[in-house]
Amino acid sequence: MIGVQAMDNTITKTEKSKRTSGVRSSMRRRETLSGYIFIGPMLIGLLVITIIPTVLTFILSFADWSFIAGIDKIKFTGIKNFTRLFNDDVFLISLKNNIYLLLVVPIQLIISLVLAVIIDKLVYLKSFFKIIFFLPYISSIVAVAICFQLLFQPSYGPINQFLRAIGVNNPPTWLADIHYALPSVMVIMVWVGIGFCLIVYMAALQAIPKDLYESADIDGAGTWTRFAKITFPMVSPTTFFLLVTGFISSFKAFDIIKVLTEGRPAYSTSVVTYYLYTTAFENLKTGYASSMALILFGFVLLITLFQMYGQKKWVNY
């Protein structure tokens, strides 16, 4: 196969070398020009919207500045922003909450893998179930958050009315309670994210060769053995992928916090993105917010590098 390709290459090469070099270089130039015309719009867009802002974030994170003050008021203070950050209780709490939120991902994965196996193998109405479990993911997080605000309402919300009706005397006040607020947010996040993981898992399950199960049947393997010995290892690259993308997107959680709790009570649900937002757009501390942004970037980059490293190991099991 490789030999054939190499032969092909030599043929085209000799063919090309027959042409005069002038024609060839003008053709190459035209090819390069068309290349840049095709990628040009995307490149310019990314330059203005992503690349320049990334560089600016990096620069501004070393400055003490507010964007309303004008560019001449900018004052570079070295790493002072960062030392301040690690003595800033609100930032540290927010970071800690982000770490707790990582817990959402494995819970999501366990539930959605179990659901995927059940829907794939054991029930009728497969595509109906896919739609049902996907609904929260497709719905806007704003609408979902507003709805849960009412469901969790401490005194007359349906959840607590139900709990009182079945004999729980002092049900927690959920989003208003410093200990229950973050877990409540996590429950909602799990609920929202299950559909996404489920769809990806179902695709992975369909890719498992059927004869693996058939030979397991011949060996008399039970449901659990089949799951533990075939299904689970076969979907492990998917699990790894979902784990990593889940971690990254949990670091980016913002909408749900902004709409549901605004970090309250007492910063118990604040996350880095939310604190960044209030610092930049409410307190107008551009430099300080940028240093937070850089740390956020660092965490996401770390997870991405971990993924690149891990992928090599996991894909071959």
Partner 1 sequence: MDKRKTVSRTIATILMLAAGVAFVLPFIWMISASFKPEIDVFKYPIEWIPKHWNVYENYREVWVGEHPFAIYYWNTIKVSVITTIISVAVSSMAAYGFSHVDFKGRNAMFLLVLMTFMVPSYSIIVPQFMIFRWLQLFDSHLGLILIGSFSALGTFMLRQFFLGIHKDYLEAAKLDGAGHARIFMQITIPLVKPALATYAILRFIWTWNDYANPLIFLRSDRLSTIQLGIQKFASESGAYYSLIMAGTVSAILPLIVIFIIGQKQVIEGIAMGGVKG
55 vs 228 by CB, closer to partner 1: 55
We find the least distance from the C-beta atom of residue 235 to partner 1, in angstroms, to be: 12
Distances (CA, A) of 110 to 43, 72, 74, 94, 249: 40, 54, 49, 26, 18
Q: Distance between CA atoms of 261 and 274, rounded to whole angstroms?
A: 10
We find the least distance from the C-beta atom of residue 135 to partner 1, in angstroms, to be: 6
We find the least distance from the C-beta atom of residue 182 to partner 1, in angstroms, to be: 19
We find the least distance from the C-beta atom of residue 89 to partner 1, in angstroms, to be: 21
186 vs 289 by CB, closer to partner 1: 289
We find the least distance from the C-beta atom of residue 168 to partner 1, in angstroms, to be: 14
34 vs 77 by CB, closer to partner 1: 34
Q: Which of 37, 15, 35 lies closest to 24, judged by CA?
A: 15
SS3 63: strand
The reply to whether omega before 265 is within 30° of 0 (cis) is yes
- Tell me the two tokens of residue 272: 């880095």
180 vs 196 by CB, closer to partner 1: 196
DSSP string covering 91-131? HHHHHHHHHHHTTHHHHHHHHHHHHHHIIIII-S-HHHHHH
64 strand-pairing partners = 75
185 vs 294 by CB, closer to partner 1: 294
